[in-house]
Copies of this chain bind each other. A is one copy, B any other.
Amino acid sequence: MGHLINTNGAFLARELADLGIELSRQVVVGDDLESIREAIREASLRADLIIIGGGLGPTEDDLSREALAQTLGLPLVENLEARENLESYSWRRGTKPSPRVYKQALLPRGAEALPNPVGAASGAYLEHEGKIYVLLPGPSQEFAAVVKEELLPRLNKLLQARGEKRAVITSRIIKVMGLPEAAVASALGELLQSCNPAVVTLVTKGEVHIKLTARASDHEEARRLFAPLEEIIHQRLKDHIFGYDQDTLEEAVGKLLREKGMTLATAESCTGGLLGHRITNVPGSSDYFLGGIVAYSNEVKIKFLGVPLELIQIYGAVSPQVAEAMAKGMREKFSAHVGIGITGIAGPTGGTEEKPVGLVYMGIDCQGKVQVEKRNFVGDRENIKWHASQYALYLLWRHLKS
């Protein structure tokens, strides 16, 4: 029904690829016994490893255990380790397990429990007629914990025990900001025809990602395959490449600030704190991020950032003059090396013909040297906030890098 967004699939694909296991297909069905059984049956014809996520909770619509047991013709039996897991989970939270949750200790006969360190529902691991069946709890934090701590070590051991030297499928992402996808594709040119590694471009949240995918005997060989392409791509796009793989723009900015021994403070109007949130998602950001002011009202801009009232009266709160004054005021008030000021119209209301929704001014004051950029972003309120925070980080990155 579309109530939840599936983040487990992407996580699982990354982790399995790392072991050389290709996630060839993901299937999503409703909480319906027959649909789940059918999906398991079909998957077992197609694949050697069938992983079922979700449906291990304590309620009536949690049907994955039953579906797997029925599909394989096995009874559900209480598993001692799964029982201990749910009891110790309750105890750690200072509660007694309710009778309802004991359903979560039932597993298909022959399955091993995959204990869940952050929840009541253990997963299950079952080898049956040459295939491996895995049950995993659905909540993403529990899913990730059981995959990392229980499933991956088991799969790794199995591959080693079988003496299989598997080809690993490895990808390398090169992250580009400040260019449209078509421009990146033009710069890549003939490289897009390459087979191993294959080269493709992807667009996500204001960034263009160049993805290299290689099939190799091991990670070492994959790295050797990537190296010459990375070198060429770097030559062609170096002014726009801010990171690789799981790197984020906020990490790239943090790294440069740390290298230069500089501190940062942020003055946010339309982004409402999102920029500070993203900067502080980076562990250790307290070394260079002093803090910021969310100046949502004009009074706060004037009183706490020292923006002159006349600037707001003459040019309006959304203007290059006010963005500059916010950046400057922020840097001075917090005694930081760099101040950022963002002011704009996130919508959906508040736009005019002259200043439409999506208009954002971003100012950077780096030790007294100020630059301001204007952008018109499209999309809904959250999109506009995101793109404004993204572009401000990009300006800062570009400035720190040059």
Contacts and interface: CB of A to CB of B under 8 A. Distances in A.
A135 to B, nearest CB: 17
A169 B348 CA distance: 30
A289 interface: yes
A85 to B, nearest CB: 15
Given A283-B348, A296-B289, A10 B4 contact: yes
Contacts of A379: 118, 141
Interface string A57-92: 111110000000000000000000000000000000
Given A98-B186, A200-B60, A378-B118, A266 B281 contact: no
A315 interface: no
Given A9-B6, A59-B201, A383-B141, A1 B26 contact: no
A185 interface: yes
Per DSSP, are chain A's interface residues mostly helix, strand or loop, or mixed?
mixed
Interface string A3-34: 11111011111110100000111111111000
B13 A281 contact: no
Given A200-B31, A272-B280, A294-B291, A192 B3 contact: no
Nearest to A60: B192
Given A31-B200, A275-B273, A385-B281, A296 B300 contact: no
Contacts of A13: 1-2
A74 to B, nearest CB: 25
Interface of A: 1-7, 9-15, 17, 23-31, 35, 39, 57-61, 95, 98, 100-101, 118, 139, 141, 169, 171, 173, 180-182, 185-186, 192-193, 198, 200-204, 209, 211, 213, 266, 268, 270-277, 279-281, 283-286, 289-297, 299-300, 304, 333-334, 346-349, 378-379, 381-383, 385
